[in-house]
Structure 1
Amino acid sequence: MSAAGNPGFSTQSIHAGYEPDSLYGPINTPIYASTTFAQDGLNELRGGYEYTRVANPTITALERTVAALENAEFGKAFSSGMAATDIVLRVLLQPGDHLILGHDAYGGTWRLIDSVFKPWGVDYSVVDTTDAQAVADAITEKTKVIWLETPTNPALAISDIAAIADIKGAASLVVDNTFASPYLQRPLALGADVVLHSTTKYLGGHSDVVGGVVVTNDAEVDEQLHFMQGGVGPIPSVFDAYLTARGIKTLAVRMDRHCDNAEKIAEFLDSRAEISQVLYPGLESHPGHEVAKKQMDRFGAMISVRFAGGEEAARKFCTSTKLICLAESLGGVESLVEHPATMTHQSAAGSQLEVPRDLVRISIGIEDIADLLTDVEQALAQI
């Protein structure tokens, strides 16, 4: 399906990556639940497909859709965000190389780098990537990857993608765009080389599917990613790919509601004495607010807060919400709250990436805002 001129984001999220076939014309991408495909002759592939570990039409459609939304030429889907992270690092790094990691990265990313890649021979430096000069100072002749999250998980720090792209030299700039989604931020246009998503989050959007995707405009990197898909096998199931693609169709309308709600809740929390700091880039008080305005269309739906009453108050808040569910993960239609220091980021305890114990992360969903505000207010009253 196509439209005259350049289609808008919502149009692409619904139509990019798939054309109804000429046989039956299904509007939705079919679930090709076949491990293997008939060949017209010895190694004569019908439609380019031979074995689902190597490629499958349902998975291909998802890859093309995300690539279109990120204005990328290539896309590859994986079984999880961490599988995508692992494969990207394996493609871009070799023993003896050096990597720069942001000081507020997802705990699972740090754990993978520290416990798997470091013993493999990859050195890494933890750097405050909100300071482009600090990144420049950390680059050595062995630096092959600069790994950015922006906004970061969980402190919502903002790094200037374009500024770091200008000083990265020969290193590959990889941006984890999970918190923003391609609806709010498109890092390739700002100079990134590779963009990664945990599709478990906003792209899938319904807390019912785990996956990851990597997009790039570099044909050589894409070819290596494709080899790793088939050679290692970290692919999503076709049903997971279908669910993710279905979720993407409503990404734009969901993100608008997510952002509307988050802006109101951030302002409310910022007015409360129980809260010592609200970490949300949409607030003018946020140190990364101006950079976020420059490179994001809106400010997202993740909010972190630090409690004046310390860890005890943070824990009490997490266990006092009624509508907002205490659970890990983020980006679904339902609001979730968690205590990163003891949940998603507990592996970083004692490291340079240790999360403050008075910090709580909230993933704002698309419920009615009045109900969310009522729940937050009653939870604060329990502290």
Structure 2
Amino acid sequence: MRFDTRLIHSGQPPTPGTGDIVPPIHMATTYDRFQQDPPRHFYSRGENPTREALEECLAALEDARHCAVFSSGQAAATAALSLLTPGQRLVSSRDVYGGTYALFEVLSRYGIRVDYADFTDSEQLRRVLSTEAAMVWVETPSNPLLELTDLTEVVALARGATVVVDNTFASPALQRPLDLGAQVSLYSTTKFIAGHADVLGGALVCDIEALHRRFVAHRTVTGGVPGGLDCYLVHRGVKTLSLRVARQGETAQLLAEMLAAAPAVAEVKYPGLPTHPQRHLVGTQMSGPGSIVSFRYRGDPEKLMARTELFACAVSLGGVRSLIECPALMTHRPIPRETRLAVGITDDLIRLSAGIEDPADLVADLRRAMEGDR
């Protein structure tokens, strides 16, 4: 089956006995042992049929054998990081989600060394990976600077380290890290996969059974499991992933081009623009530039965000409604200011998440909001 067909059919065959074409929602916390032959479901922290249907679908989207879903993207990231032990070294791309940075800070308290590097600089990448690492952590596109990392190059230089790719910004509709040699694809399914800003979730997709077993064991012990209704909502949302991502990408391109010509904008960061330094990876590694746009604003970011009518000033991304936020004030606020500035997350940086509203209305809304600073 091709990708768009898998979105609809994987993990959701008609239910035996009733013929439901939508998998039922299993809300039970426990299961009668003597009603099963053979016994397979015991307690919903460990097993849940609705959860398993979602996992089958998400694994199929990357031609993988395994997927473990979690109660949030942070829970999924924590499970991936549980592979590390004290004394080991993690190498990460320098521009990562604020919550990921906070997790890395926790790791450092337990004797795990965390090193950051500019993964868009081949020389720096070779240098930082010349010393043995247990794990390489990549966000591409990165949050919020939208830097693209050449995954083939990272895998070639990883020297046996487990390569984990946070693929949240691209989603499997635009990029499939496992095809490029990574061992694990990580998702906050809250974002593009579910797509409607009404459910939290996370996922780890891999093709290595031993890794999958460790992820599931960690989830069962620590309890970061999504319930049946949450899994149903994510599975329902994923059906329209391709349609939403295509529309959102077209809108983001229009927004980026408008911003690039706006006097109030100092710089636009969007992989769909010819000025983007890693533009060559769009069309090769990624099938499209995505729907997140970041830009540096010459005016007051808070006033701009207060003036938009269609863009809601809120964190998160990837949903059907357009959002606007200032990372320095919101998603990346936990990162020390000096660290943020060194990476390029300045106080004037604004991030947009394009929704599925009429593109002309979104362009007009943002243009009108910027005119308030004239």
Normalising by structure 1, report the TM-score: 0.94
Of 4, 7, 28, the residue aligned with 1:34 is 28
**Paired position in structure 2 for 1:104:** 95
2-structure distance, mates of 1:200, 1:206: 8
Of 370, 375, 379, the residue aligned with 2:369 is 379
Q: Answer with 266-275 or 352-361: which moved more.
A: 352-361
Number of aligned residue pairs: 370
Contact map agreement 1:36 1:50 (CA 8 A) in 2: yes
Q: Which runs of 5+ in 1 are unaligned?
A: 1-6
AA paired with 1:149? E
AA paired with 1:56? N
SS in 2 for 1:27: coil
**Paired position in structure 1 for 2:85:** 94
SS in 1 for 2:232: helix
Q: Does 1:275 align with 2:262?
A: no
1:45 is displaced (CA, Å) by: 4.2
1-structure distance, mates of 2:349, 2:286: 24
Contact map agreement 2:55 2:69 (CA 8 A) in 1: yes
Q: Does 1:80 align with 2:67?
A: no
Q: Does 1:14 align with 2:5?
A: no
**Paired position in structure 2 for 1:255:** 245
2-structure distance, mates of 1:209, 1:60: 17
**Paired position in structure 2 for 1:195:** 185
Q: Does 1:318 align with 2:305?
A: yes
AA paired with 1:315? E
2-structure distance, mates of 1:130, 1:55: 41
Deviations 1:271-296 (A, max 9, x none): 11111110000001001111233211
SS in 2 for 1:342: coil
AA paired with 2:87? G
1-structure distance, mates of 2:63, 2:261: 39
SS in 1 for 2:334: helix
SS in 2 for 1:323: coil
**Paired position in structure 2 for 1:113:** 104
Q: Does 1:346 align with 2:346?
A: no
Q: Answer with 18-27 or 360-369: which moved more.
A: 18-27
AA paired with 2:101? W
Q: Within 5 Å, which residues of 2 pair with 1:1-383?
A: 7-40=1-34, 45-46=38-39, 48-90=40-82, 92-114=83-105, 116-139=106-129, 141-309=131-299, 312=300, 314-354=301-341, 355-383=345-373
1-structure distance, mates of 2:196, 2:38: 36
1:170 is displaced (CA, Å) by: 1.4
Contact map agreement 2:297 2:348 (CA 8 A) in 1: yes
1:49 is displaced (CA, Å) by: 1.5
SS in 2 for 1:104: coil
Q: Which runs of 5+ in 2 are unaligned?
A: none
1-structure distance, mates of 2:125, 2:224: 31
AA paired with 2:325? E
1-structure distance, mates of 2:92, 2:282: 20
Backbone CA RMSD of aligned residues: 1.4
Runs of 4+ in 1 over 4 A off after TM superposition: none
Contact map agreement 1:194 1:214 (CA 8 A) in 2: yes
AA paired with 1:122? I
1-structure distance, mates of 2:121, 2:146: 15
AA paired with 1:335? S
1:44 is displaced (CA, Å) by: 6.4
2-structure distance, mates of 1:319, 1:344: 17
1:129 is displaced (CA, Å) by: 1.1
Pick closer, same or farther for the CA change 1:45–1:135 going to 2, 3 Å: farther
Normalising by structure 2, report the TM-score: 0.96
SS in 1 for 2:256: helix
SS in 1 for 2:273: coil
AA paired with 1:37? Y
1:72 is displaced (CA, Å) by: 1.2
1:55 is displaced (CA, Å) by: 1.2
AA paired with 1:38? D
SS in 1 for 2:115: strand
**Paired position in structure 2 for 1:4:** none
SS in 2 for 1:293: coil
Contact map agreement 1:103 1:352 (CA 8 A) in 2: no
Contact map agreement 2:71 2:202 (CA 8 A) in 1: yes
AA paired with 1:112? L
Deviations 1:110-162 (A, max 9, x none): 01111x11101110111001123322211255411110000000010000011
